[in-house]
């Protein structure tokens, strides 16, 4: 269940002279071990208790708000299949996430590569201003003009509009993080590729992309996860329920109409959560989450 306690054995070569000190030391170590396990249990409890319901309710034949051991059934998933919007909204989420992910990865990779290899005037200032803007503007602060802009461009109730708006918001951070990855890769490969007459786009595709694949994977997963969970932008820009992604549809499940249908909500939550979790597991086992780049200066 838990990691073996470190430092409890070894290195206490007990000599008669400092038995008292060793005793104190032992007591302190015991206290430390107890404290360690208490802390770990508390953290584990804090983070897992809210999730219990998600694990139990979908399989309970009479799902209630309380998390409890279920009397096992799969009937709830039929309720889900019967709902007109449920599965469709997951498809919509996929479209939005895949579209945004592809756009963000391609654009940010190109930009980050150029910014990493060529010193364009005002590069660093530009990066910082954009990063600042992105964490500030995305979402709420620019709600009103985003709505107006989408209206003027005829992008209201269009999934393309949502993809473009989300990409614009995610790109600065993506470029910023990827540039750090690119900075960390050696240039000698590119130089030799160039000597053999590869064009910059070819160098990019065959030399740089394989080198920074963990970075690209990080960005792809990050942007897909951001879009998959995003509520505000599709809530703002999409009108018809047929086009709404899971985040918005799920919200309507528990706010509209008196009694929430717990069988539907719980199964839908689970189905909606599984893809992000799977994606996360896949990527972290394959590439490991590289967190050193991008964030530190």
Q: Among 86, 171, 237, 264, indicate the residue that binds another protein (CB under 8 A).
A: 171
Shorter beta-carbon distance to another protein: residue 74 or 151: 151
38-67: contacts with another protein (CB under 8 A): 39-40, 43-44, 46-54, 64-67
User: Is residue 67 classed exposed, middle or buried when 0-12, 13-18 and 19+ CB atoms within 10 A define those classes?
Assistant: middle
Q: What's the chain's length in residues? A: 297
Q: Residue 7: left if φ>0, alpha if ψ -120 to 50, beta else—which one?
A: left
114-153: contacts with another protein (CB under 8 A): 114-115, 117-120, 128, 130, 132-149
User: Is residue 45 classed exposed, middle or buried when 0-12, 13-18 and 19+ CB atoms within 10 A define those classes?
Assistant: exposed
Are 75 and 210 in contact, with CB atoms under 8 Å apart? no
Select the span of 3-11, 15-23, 71-79, 210-218 touching another protein (CB under 8 A). Answer: 3-11
How many residues bind to another protein according to rule CB under 8 A? 103
Select the span of 13-21, 69-77, 78-86, 168-176 touching another protein (CB under 8 A). Answer: 168-176
Select the span of 12-20, 34-42, 76-84, 211-219 touching another protein (CB under 8 A). Answer: 34-42
User: Where are the alpha helices (H) located in 156-212, listed in sequence order?
Assistant: 159-183, 188-195, 200-203, 209-211
Are 130 and 168 in contact, with CB atoms under 8 Å apart? no
193-252: contacts with another protein (CB under 8 A): 193-194, 200-201, 203-204, 208, 225, 228-232, 236, 246-248, 250-251
């Amino acid at each position: 269940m838990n990691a073996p306690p470190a430092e409890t054995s070894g290195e206490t070569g007990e000599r008669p002279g400092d038995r008292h000190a060793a005793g104190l030391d032992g007591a302190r170590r015991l206290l430390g071990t107890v404290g360690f396990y208490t802390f770990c249990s508390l953290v584990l409890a804090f983070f897992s208790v809210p999730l219990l319901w998600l694990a139990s309710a979908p399989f309970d034949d009479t799902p209630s708000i309380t998390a409890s051991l279920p009397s096992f059934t799969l009937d709830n998933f039929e309720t889900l299949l019967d709902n007109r919007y449920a599965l469709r909204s997951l498809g919509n989420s996929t479209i939005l996430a895949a579209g945004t992910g592809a756009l963000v990865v391609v654009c940010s990779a190109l930009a980050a590569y150029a910014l990493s290899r060529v010193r364009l005037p005002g590069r660093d200032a530009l990066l910082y201003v954009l990063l600042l803007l992105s964490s500030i503007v995305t979402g709420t602060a620019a709600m009103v003009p985003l709505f107006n802009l989408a209206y003027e461009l005829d992008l209201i109730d269009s999934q393309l509009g949502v993809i473009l708006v989300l990409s614009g918001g995610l790109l600065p951070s993506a470029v910023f993080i990827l540039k750090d990855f690119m900075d960390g890769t050696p240039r000698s490969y590119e130089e030799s590729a160039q000597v053999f007459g590869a064009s910059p786009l070819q160098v990019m595709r065959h030399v740089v992309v394989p080198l920074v694949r963990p970075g690209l994977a990080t960005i792809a997963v990050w942007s897909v996860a951001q879009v998959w969970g995003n509520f505000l932008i599709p809530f703002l820009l999409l009108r018809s329920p047929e086009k709404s992604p899971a985040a918005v549809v799920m919200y309507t499940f528990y706010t509209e109409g008196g009694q929430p249908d717990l069988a539907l909500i719980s199964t839908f939550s689970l189905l909606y959560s599984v893809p992000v979790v799977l994606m996360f597991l896949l990527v972290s086992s394959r590439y490991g989450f590289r967190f050193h780049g991008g964030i530190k200066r």
